[in-house]
Amino acid sequence: MKIDLTDTTASKINKALVQGRRAIGTPAVGMVLTLVIVTDEENAYDAMRAAGEASREHPSRTLVVIRRVSRTPRDRTSSRLDAEVRVGADAGTGETVVVRLYGEVVGHAQSVVLPLLLPDAPVVVWWPVNAPLDPAQDPLGKLGQRRVTDTYAAEQPIEELTARSEAYTPGDTDLAWTRITPWRSMIAAALDQVNCTVTSVVVEGEEFNPSCELLAMWLAERLGVPVERTLSPGPGLTAVRMETDCGPVALDRADGSLATLSVQGQPERAVALKRRETAELIAEELRRLDPDDTYAAALSFGVEHLYDATGAPVREPGSEARETAGPDGEQTGSGAAEKSAPAKKAPAKKAPAKKATAK
Amino acid sequence: MSSAHEANPLRDPADRRLPRIAGPSGLVIFGVTGDLSRKKLMPAVYDLANRGLLPPGFALIGFARRDWADEDFAQIVHDAVKEHARTPFREEVWQQLLQGMRFVQGDFDDDAAFEQLGATIQDLDKAQGTGGNFAFYLSVPPKFFPKVVQQLKKHGLADEQNGSWRRAVIEKPFGHDLASAKELNAIVHEVFAPDQVFRIDHYLGKETVQNILALRFANTLFEPIWNRSYVDHVQITMAEDIGIGGRAGYYDGIGAARDVIQNHLLQLLALTAMEEPASFDAASLAAEKTKVLRAVRLPKDLGSATVRAQYAAGWQGGEKVIGYLQEEGIDAKSKTDTYAAVRLGIDNRRWAGVPFYLRTGKRLGRRVTEIAVVFQRAPHSPFDSTATEELGQNALVIRVQPDEGVTLRFGSKVPGTSMEVRDVSMDFAYGESFTESSPEAYERLILDVLLGDSNLFPRTEEVELSWEILDPIEQFWDRSGKPAQYPAGTWGPVEADEMLERDGRSWRRP
């Protein structure tokens, strides 16, 4: 059932939740967490649908915080809170409250959210778009154990990644990182099968896709070898090629669903590597709520080190089409490269310190 | 495989997103045309692949008498997966599996067929890179076990070469008494090393059963009262609403006690009653389980502490059904039990004097499996006896299936001016919230076989100890009387109710 409340308060919303639960006859609820989605009207529908599907695995109270844009000075000085309370069949396996903020209260969303959090249960804050630069210091972000951002949805993904690294606080995580779990597990499984030492790696994928950078940084951080990031038309990640002391190991996925694993001396094998829906990503994200140290380590490795990890990379000029190659990066990659060039100086120094605090 | 893991720089214990993927391997299913294979095994293999838990190049070989080509086999698997898989069908996952799918036609005494199987395995090692690692799933009637196992030995299929593994997976029944179980173990162990033999008890793969350990040992709340000072008795029930169906040949002469109590219920008892293991590795778990099974004592008077019965014709959920003795293929003088209830004691400091009631049956009220730990009444009640008239005993019920979850029953004041206390339930509904994502038991168990993780598989000793518990009861039943009768669709014979009444207790209605 659905209860609409206009010009309301958090305590009235709480009352409506209890009333709604009684009406459908399930006063006892087994919800395991509160998911706060901070979004705008445009992205609210998709985010709520994803959260609804994820709630089948993680029954939760979903609070959708929508900040409305005020277009006149009068609107800006007044203040109003509207809410939509959904329980039962309308809300997956949990409860959903959509709160719309108008005017001044937009800047005080945490005052609305705080009373609506489930007692004891962990809180996850998810920004599908427009995540704050420092999620842990954001008033809403402060309420959560886990803060989920998505650099894939950012205008400048690579710069955003650098910013995430600078602001990293245990509990931060990013859907661009979640997206590559199947890749990571398949590459790890491929290395389980051979007893070789990796000497260099190439990660190939579409431009403006921070997942490629994250995968490259994870590989570089774990393997301690130079990792090259090259561009392709996509979709998403298209290949990881590793040179090892016993021949190349490559995972190619040209069509976004079925990949081929080729290992020197072994037959080629097909591997299903489908690009996943947001609901699956959120469900994976909610499975563990402790800080993701592996993400922290990969992130703090630094985008800029992808190129010069060992000082003197041996590479033909043609392959320098990485977004992070630097001012002389060519063709498609050059635009992003120039923009990210100033930003990458600072984290270069900070990276080691960050790494230490993250552990 | 474990050495490769240590050497792999991409593996990090802190990286908990990376799932456990089985190493290069393949699964050979004997009796691939059977019900279990189509309804459980094939869908489980697909679901594992869909969740990305199978290695690239995973191979699936079917072995059966039918005259099929690889394509026919693939079609059967395809249909089985579409119909029974838990996760949605995805073409790319199917393509991945399809590459490694083979079919070998033959009888179990057909030497050529086993040669063909060997050739197929070598071929798959080359084409799919399975590395010689194969698990043989014996989804066949137990009388064929010795034949298949010996054929595997004869054709060198059980030989592990250059660090590869060969494993055997067998389904219950593991014999029909202690002697036959020992014989079976001897046959299998002659060919496969004991730690390469995986006995499937699909109950142990269920999330709710694994949750017993989490409930007991991850919490502080329950363990302090999990003993004779607080627990009055424990009831473990596994009820089915179906009859024997077309399984007359298998069932007659075996009966409910051998079919269910010996494996499922005694395993549930062991998990409920065991001490905390030193760690959660297979050896420590098995050590605690064997310890508690060893402490199980049979009642002195078997006649008053056990009941066996057969379902008679009756109405089951609005449907008229025939009795066991009228079922097709059953001797009208059969003494096979379709219902069995026993009272066991556990002689250790924790449980002395606490009876464990185990019951199972076919054609009972509804399909349910649960463990109920029933607590003692409060030693003194400050309330009037009228106020607590409706208060039962506190109970913690672990609902294994269906509607998986945990229920806690306790008393609560009924709102109003007078003091009246009545039973209420506090529910944790695993089933309602998590079913869609809970893996099927077979998924977990097949993955564990491929990983070589034997945590959830009963060991030889456990099987033999279970038979040691059950054998005297079966022998007693053979010697004396005949089974009681109960109308189909009820909760068992009156004799079972009387058995608990003598102890001043009663069965829960599950």
pLDDT at B5: 44
Distance (Å) from the alpha carbon of A207 to chain B's nearest alpha carbon: 25
**A180-359 architecture in CATH?**
2-Layer Sandwich (3.30)
Establish if B451 touches chain A: CB-CB under 8 angstroms: no
Q: Which residue has the higher pLDDT, B62 or A340?
A: B62
Helix H or strand E segment including B28: strand B26-30
Choose the closest CB to B12 out of A195, A270, A294. A294
Q: Are the Cβ atoms of B426 and A28 closer than 8 angstroms?
A: yes
Select from A57, A192, A221, A244 the residue whose CB has the most chain B CBs within 10 Å, as the one to mutate to test that interface: A192
pLDDT of residue B430: 67
pLDDT of the residue at B433: 54
Find the range with the poorest average confidence among B136-150, B211-225, B460-474: B136-150
> How high is the pLDDT of residue A333?
38
- Indicate the annotated binding residues of B for NADP(+): 65, 107-108, 172
Residue in A185, A190, A272 nearest the CB of B93: A272
Q: Domain B2-171 falls in which CATH fold?
A: Rossmann fold (3.40.50)
| Residue among A93, A185, A192 minimizing CB distance to B4 | A192
pLDDT score at B66: 86
pLDDT of B128 above 90: no
B416 and A77 Cβ atoms separated by less than 8 Å = no
Longest dimension (CA), chain B: 84
Q: Which of B16, B19, B427 sits opposite A28 (nearest CB)?
A: B427
**pTM to 2 decimal places:** 0.80
Spatial CB neighbours of B252, under 8 Å, sequence gap ≥ 6: B329, B330, B331, B334, B336
Say if residue B142 is preceded by a cis peptide, omega within 30 of 0.
Answer: no
pLDDT digits (tens, 9 = 90+) for B391-426: 889 999 998 877 788 899 998 888 888 888 888 888
Residues on chain A touching B131 (C-beta within 8 angstroms):
193
Q: Bigger pLDDT: B44 or A77?
A: B44
Mean pLDDT calculated for residue range A144-156: 91
Token pair for A8: 């309301």
Q: What is the CATH number of domain B205-438+468-502?
A: 3.30.360.10
Give the whole-number percent of chain B exceeding pLDDT 70. 97
Query: Is there a contact between A271 and B56 if contact means CB atoms under 8 Å apart?
Result: yes
Strand order in the sheet with A227-231: A227-231, A198-205, A237-244, A247-252, A258-263, A269-272
Q: Percent of chain A having pLDDT more than 90? A: 33
Q: Which of A191, A270, A283 sits opposite B10 (nearest CB)?
A: A191
Confidence band for B437, pLDDT divided at 50, 70 and 90: low
Residue B109 confidence class, pLDDT cut points 50, 70, 90: confident
User: B59 to chain A nearest CA, in Å?
Assistant: 11
| pLDDT number for residue A73 | 83
Domain ranges, ordered by start, for chain A = 2-149, 180-359
Q: Which of B89, B207, B426, B433 to mutate to test the interface with A (most CBs of A within 10 A)?
A: B433
Q: What is residue A91's predicted lDDT score, i.e. its pLDDT?
A: 66
* CB-CB under 8 Å, B24 with A271: no
Q: Which pLDDT band, with edges at 50, 70 and 90, does A323 fall under?
A: very low
Q: Out of A56, A185, A187, name the one closest to residue B52 (CB).
A: A185
Collapse the DSSP code of A204 into the 3-class scheme (helix H, G, I; strand E, B; otherwise coil) and give the result: strand
- Is the pLDDT at B57 greater than 50? The verdict is yes
B337, B324 Cβ separation under 8 angstroms:
no
Looking at the complex, report in whole angstroms how far the Cα of residue B485 sits from the nearest Cα belonging to chain A. Answer: 40
Specify the pLDDT at position B96. 86
Q: Name every chain A residue with its beta carbon within 8 A of the beta carbon of B437.
A: 56-57, 283
Contacts of B407 in chain A (CB under 8 A): none
**Residue A64 — pLDDT band, cuts 50, 70, 90?**
very high
CA distance B333 to B335: 6
Residues of A in contact with B5 (CB under 8 A): 192
Q: Min CA distance, A257 vs chain B (Å)?
A: 6
Q: Which residue ranges of B make up the annotated binding site?
A: 65, 107-108, 172, 202, 206, 240, 259, 362
Q: What is the pLDDT of residue A334?
A: 39
All structural domains of chain B with their residue ranges: 2-171, 205-438+468-502
Asked if B212 reaches chain A (Cβ–Cβ under 8 Å), the answer is no
**Measured between CA atoms, how close is A75 to chain B, in angstroms?**
42
Which residues, in sequence order, are CB contacts of A22 under 8 Å at separation 6+? none
Chain A CB contacts of B434 below 8 Å: 57
Q: Report residue B217 as tokens.
A: 């040992």
pLDDT at B381 exceeding the cut of 90: no
Record: contact A181-B7, CB cut-off 8 A: no
Instruction: Answer whether A269's CB lies under 8 Å from A261's CB.
Output: yes
Q: Which long-range contacts (CB under 8 A, 24 or more apart) does A334-343 make?
A: A336/A156, A336/A158, A336/A207, A336/A208, A339/A156, A339/A159, A340/A156, A340/A158, A340/A159, A340/A162, A340/A303, A343/A159, A343/A162, A343/A163
Answer yes or no: do A223 and B10 touch at CB < 8 A. yes
Residue B52's pLDDT band (boundaries 50, 70, 90)?
confident
Output B89 or B435, whichever has higher pLDDT: B89
Residue A335 confidence (pLDDT) above 70: no
Distance from CA of B164 to the nearest CA of A (A): 12
What are the tens digits of pLDDT across the range B259-276?
Answer: 899 989 999 999 999 999
Q: Which residues in chain A are closer than 8 Å to B4, comparing Cβ atoms?
A: 192-193, 195
Instruction: Give the pLDDT of residue B331.
Output: 86
Res B376: pLDDT: 93
Task: Say whether A28 and B23 touch across the interface (CB within 8 A).
Answer: no
Q: What is the pLDDT of residues B180-194, one digit of tens each?
A: 999 989 989 989 998
Segment A203-229 mean pLDDT: 91
The chain-wide mean pLDDT, for chain A, equals 80
pLDDT of residue B394: 92
Given a cut of 50, whether residue A346 has pLDDT beyond it is no
Judge contact between B25 and B134, C-beta under 8 A: yes
Pairing of strands B314-316, B319-321: antiparallel
**Whether A185 and B96 lie within 8 Å, measured CB to CB:** no
Residue A235, preceding peptide bond in cis (omega within 30° of 0) = yes
Using an 8 Å Cβ cutoff, are B332 and B507 in contact? no
Mean pLDDT of A72-88: 86
Chains A, B: CB contacts within 8 A come to 119
Q: Work out the pLDDT band at A19, boundaries 50, 70, 90.
A: confident
Cβ atoms of B153 and B186 within 8 Å: the answer is no
- 152-211 of B, contacting A, C-beta below 8 A: none
Q: Do B80 and A285 form a contact (C-beta atoms < 8 A)?
A: no
Residue appearing with tokens 């994502």: B437
**Interval A104-141: pLDDT, tens:** 888 889 899 999 998 888 999 999 998 998 999 999 99
Nearest chain B residue (CA) to A182: B52
Please report, rounded to a whole number, the percentage of residues in chain B having pLDDT higher than 90: 45
Residue of A nearest to B6 (CA): A192
Chain B segment 45-74 residues within 8 A of A by beta carbon are: 49-50, 52, 55-57
Q: What are phi and psi of A248, to 5 degrees?
A: -75, 145
Q: How many CB atoms lie within 10 A of CB B219?
A: 9
Q: Which of A31, A269, A276, A292 best tests the B interface by mutation, with the highest count of B CBs <10 A?
A: A269
- Binding site residues of B for substrate, as ranges? 202, 206, 240, 259, 362
Q: What is the mean pLDDT of residues B42-61?
A: 89
So which residues of B are the catalytic ones? 264
pLDDT for the residue A321: 40
Distance from CA of B57 to the nearest CA of A (A): 5
* CA-based nearest residue in chain B for residue A292: B15
Task: Please check the confidence at residue B374 and state whether its pLDDT lies above 90.
Answer: yes
Burial of B218 (0-12, 13-18, 19+ CB in 10 A): exposed
Mean pLDDT taken over chain B: 88
Mean pLDDT, rounded, for B5-9? 66
The confidence score (pLDDT) of residue A329 equals: 37
Contact between A193 and B24 using a beta-carbon 8 Å cutoff: yes
Residues of chain B in contact with residue A293, where contact means CB-CB under 8 angstroms, are 14-15
> Taken in order A113, A114, A120, A124, is the CA torsion positive or negative?
positive
Average pLDDT over residues A261-278: 84
B428: chain A residues, CB-CB within 8 Å: 30
Residues B489 and B111: their CA atoms lie apart, in Å, by 48
